[in-house]
Structure 1
């Protein structure tokens, strides 16, 4: 932890309250995004038909990835569906082609228009053939779509061993058994049946039922055989003993022992910290250590409505903090990692707590928004009760402002990006460099509405390094999930674990960006490949560098000039 940040934490814990010692929480008007509303030809359909089924409230997400190999990010948006569809035109998921002018429909049929009641998705190279496939979770049968390399997909769900048909939510890729291919970890939400549904009331008004009204469902682990065919290893992994109400999944080497652990954000139940025993035993077996580690409950030791989740090394000490979004009257959580298996909830200490209390948080993304080399946090908010305005007597609303927590040496400063735009009910926050100019933009999915683009204007004179990691497909998946990145300059060392899925039902741009300080033009970068060796080289700012395991930098592509 940096001395200044550690000193600030200590002062607050001891009750020091002078202006110079408290974490600033004033709102800042400066925000490096231009909001583009209505630029994406898609409207989310929740499936709501006046019956208020819980499956209608929590979707949907999406993915940013290069489906057709043209060097530009494409966008996949997951669509909901009614429990009893009776319309002739059924809503379907949509794959949009990224161009320099924006997102447009593909001219050819892509095979990605799943009509299930969609929730989340994961983009990944499941057969290690060099292109990006898709796994889609539904409230109902999931789908596995395999890419032929041109952006044309084929549904190979059942042929490849996928037989998941319960209420799916988040999904994440990982190499849990360190054999060089992508396995799949599935979150499940609750046991809900439209046939046995009973409405819930609040003050004589019908509302969406809370998850406490339904039993949870265990998560699922699907093991890849090396060729993109899967088998269910949930029982052997100990997951069937842990009924979940999962909405968020984070894969990370939490205990720094070299294998991948899993954090599960549960809605209304204690969160899970699933520590993988593979490194010690050679067997994939998880034990839940969240309660004894201090990251199962909120700051008041109560269960919270965990939804979105992300991991980030805020204090640059080589281990990741865990970020979780929660319901109104609960803070968004920041579990600080002490590096020895223990966590401390620090949201009130670091300035995240109070500003998050009035809102229902969903997507959360850690990123260097203003390119000052310090990690910031973006949260998109939106209620789950469609008539909450009537229920609350006008005190609360379905559509809510999103928030940015700008990182400083003394905690976070909060700002609202939507001061001059219409509010919506946010769900997923998906990050990616849409215009290849060296900064991260955001796609925000919105309940029963069009998505937003938050296009970053931070790129300019700031030096930035871009990295695209390619594993060898033998000891490490081609997607290089789980690789550990260290970026060293003369006055700073930053650590990041490579993952693609986090936030809420989201799959992000797989490339990594690191801003440097003014005047710096290079950095020493080291990659610890999963199952392989550590490689180190010096990288120049101003480009995306493709780094292939065992080969080093094989291609560098200069950032495009920022749009005026």
Structure 2
């Protein structure tokens, strides 16, 4: 009645979707249209989710949206925003056409269609599970109703997580469900999901919270032999963690793009260091950091398979 957007927000993704230097907000709403609050740069925001194609799914319907994350999963400037939805609704993957919006829901085309329909997804994250240089997708699932199986035989209270491997644009579909995901296949009543390199071996481990049950830590025992590089940014002033910075890393003729935005998934925060998978590559050609104030800093490529600290303004 007051003309302001009213929703049931369960997940928020801070992301500079139009690359104008200002962090915008995408809100995953439960059963009503999703919001996209465009940052005008003057301390105000404008809600333009419908205009930019992210308010509804590919069928033009509002979904039971919950967990959310954003990433340049194609290693170009086409931005993807993944949203986990309620049971009997597919996961949404909104992708820009080229480097600018509007978005289109490409979940089916990219391989996230039928495999995600039965899952009730809360936590959802992009991360490079196998350090091959392409961001994969993990979604953790669990129903709301303890005895849902009695009225919907296809549904279960505890559900396995789903890991989708990003096999690149040369494949028929970009994402493929990993059928041998180890302990991730154990049914859980999952809610939040976050990643961190818990054991300092370079790959990203997963922490999953559950409803009324103990949280689980899934250690990633990477056997691929792929190389990696991790960056910890040190900012200045009132933002020592450099939240909102972006990093570009070029290696093997491919440029990867990351944003230092730890608020991701559903009621979760990931670690602050940023991880880049390098595949079988043995070196890095270029690293560029754009700090939250817009300052760009070139970083001399170090060795690989290590964590390096980058201090704003340091030579």
Please state which band the TM-score falls in when normalised by the shorter chain: over 0.9
Q: Give the match for residue 345 of structure 1.
A: 105
Q: 2:298, 2:167 → 1: CA distance?
A: 29
Q: Give the match for residue 23 of structure 2.
A: 260
Q: Give the match for residue 427 of structure 1.
A: 191
Matched, 1:312 2:71: yes
CA RMSD of aligned residues (A): 1.8
The residue matched to 1:356 in structure 2 has which SS?
helix
Deviation at 1:539, TM superposition (A): 2.4
Q: 1:269 to 1:421 in 2, by over 3 A?
A: closer
Aligned pairs for 1:386-535 within 5 A? 386-392=146-152, 394-409=153-168, 410=171, 411-416=174-179, 417=181, 422-458=186-222, 461-473=225-237, 477-535=239-297
The residue matched to 2:65 in structure 1 has which SS?
coil
Matched, 1:374 2:134: yes
Deviation at 1:259, TM superposition (A): 0.6
Q: Give the match for residue 290 of structure 1.
A: 49
Deviation at 1:353, TM superposition (A): 1.1
Aligned pairs for 1:540-551 within 5 A? 540-551=303-314
Q: 1:380, 1:482 → 2: CA distance?
A: 26
Does the Cα contact within 8 Å between 1:471 and 1:549 map onto a contact in 2?
A: yes
Does the Cα contact within 8 Å between 1:463 and 1:521 map onto a contact in 2?
A: no
Give a deviation string over 1:27-81, Cα, whole Å, max 9, x none.
Answer: xxxxxxxxxxxxxxxxxxxxxxxxxxxxxxxxxxxxxxxxxxxxxxxxxxxxxxx
The residue matched to 1:389 in structure 2 has which SS?
helix
Gaps of 5+ in 2: none
Deviation at 1:350, TM superposition (A): 0.5
Gaps of 5+ in 1: 1-237, 553-564
Does the Cα contact within 8 Å between 1:273 and 1:295 map onto a contact in 2?
A: yes
Q: 1:396 to 1:337 in 2, by over 3 A?
A: same
Q: Which structure has the greater CA radius of gyration?
A: 1
Greater alpha carbon shift after TM alignment, 533-542 vs 396-405? 533-542
**Structure of greater relative contact order (alpha carbons < 8 Å, 6+ residues apart):** 1
Q: 1:459 to 1:481 in 2, by over 3 A?
A: farther
User: How many residues were matched structurally?
Assistant: 307
Q: Give the match for residue 8 of structure 1.
A: none
Q: 1:420 to 1:276 in 2, by over 3 A?
A: closer
Does the Cα contact within 8 Å between 1:263 and 1:271 map onto a contact in 2?
A: yes
The residue matched to 2:218 in structure 1 has which SS?
strand
Give a deviation string over 1:300-341, Cα, whole Å, max 9, x none.
Answer: 110001100000102222242100000111110100112222
Q: 1:522, 1:315 → 2: CA distance?
A: 19
Matched, 1:249 2:26: no
The residue matched to 2:233 in structure 1 has which SS?
strand
Deviation at 1:390, TM superposition (A): 2.1
Q: Give the match for residue 124 of structure 1.
A: none
Q: 1:407, 1:371 → 2: CA distance?
A: 11
Deviation at 1:421, TM superposition (A): 6.1
